[in-house]
Structure 1
């Protein structure tokens, strides 16, 4: 980050989750390690037409691992990836907070939890100013995470 930039934390730490439905796991054993994902139908996410497929990132005991997964379904939103998992189409890699209600209700099962360490959440970055406007200061203060 450039020296003249300011970073303000606007969210708590985040965690990803790998989820699938009970119906999917009826026909496929749950993966024990990220390498086991090669034997699964994974729901790939691509946010824009020009971006590549999202890599599934894992970390355990300080060891990082990036896995490119394969599957029959490619979607461009978290909502579609979650729907695919709910419909037994494969495993989805999504923010844990986003799928937690479905895990809590038993509609989805979370796997590889010990490989999904938290990572820093979102920050607002902006150039430092000697005299920020009152409106800008209000926006920054409203967005500031106070956890």
Structure 2
């Protein structure tokens, strides 16, 4: 039998994973409840024991080295599996317990997670729900997450996907003040001559190309404009202020359209697409804590 990790081994490995997850000593230290200097010392001691540098550090950034990346890829799934095994053992007490780690788009968490949290916390006092709000599309298993809420088009094929809501539709919208100054686009391709507010997927280098539907097929328009953001709320506020034409899910702008603060544009080319789904890796035996959370979300969504 392989010897168990010593306390020092476990603490150093835990420190390494926390920094590798966030690529920030300060954020990792806050998560672990230690000072950044203590965390840095622990990681440095781990590197010295291994005889290899795991991170390249500057005053502004922390990046995994090749060796650190390789260690992270191998260790993260193992630690997640270990955590799942411990949580499963805890379930023998008769009540679901342990931690459920969820990765969710911000808008999805507001719509589907927040409404069920009060009742869930009351009904399952021994379950900790650890939620990361992030519009990036990441590898759930490598990130150590149990489940995620995403739009259908970015869910991996080997994931179990449970629909939470109806199809969605994106609309180009603009404030009346903007349209009075710059005119109204008559076709999506006219957008190349307008000032558009662009959104970039977190972690991706280029802005998202706006998608429209015509003659049975989707096509993209690479718009330009004075503002690029990775936060959809800021993009919406900029559109309301007349900075340019925005592109947003219909639900998030319907109230502003009804009130006349925004005008919907190019609707004949705005088709629905698969909406929000709860997704999780296929597994032979699901931890009761995760099952309880999934059931709560499905019930809250009317599924």
Which structure has greater helix proportion? 2
The alignment status of 1:18 with 2:172, answered yes or no, reads: yes
Residue aligned with 1:25, SS: helix
- Larger gyration radius, structure 1 or structure 2: 2
RMSD: 1.7
Counterpart position of 1:42: 196
Once the two structures are overlaid, the 10-residue window that deviates more, 23-32 or 5-14, is: 5-14
TM norm structure 2:
0.45
Indicate if the aligned counterparts of 2:236 and 2:246 stay in contact, CA closer than 8 A. yes
Residue aligned with 1:12, SS: coil
TM norm structure 1:
0.89
Deviation at residue 143 of structure 1 after TM alignment: 2.0
- Taking the aligned partners of 1:124 and 1:63, their CA distance within structure 2 comes to 27
The counterpart of 1:105, out of the listed 251, 259, 270, is: 259
- Taking the aligned partners of 2:245 and 2:226, their CA distance within structure 1 comes to 11
The counterpart of 2:245, out of the listed 84, 88, 91, is: 91
Indicate if the aligned counterparts of 2:192 and 2:221 stay in contact, CA closer than 8 A. no
Residue aligned with 1:59, SS: strand
- The CA deviation string for residues 3-28 of structure 1, in whole angstroms up to 9 with x for no partner, is xx421112221110111000011112
Structure 1 unmatched runs, 5+: none
Residue aligned with 2:254, SS: helix
Residue aligned with 1:15, SS: strand
Aligned residue pairs total 145
Deviation at residue 44 of structure 1 after TM alignment: 1.0
- Taking the aligned partners of 2:212 and 2:249, their CA distance within structure 1 comes to 13
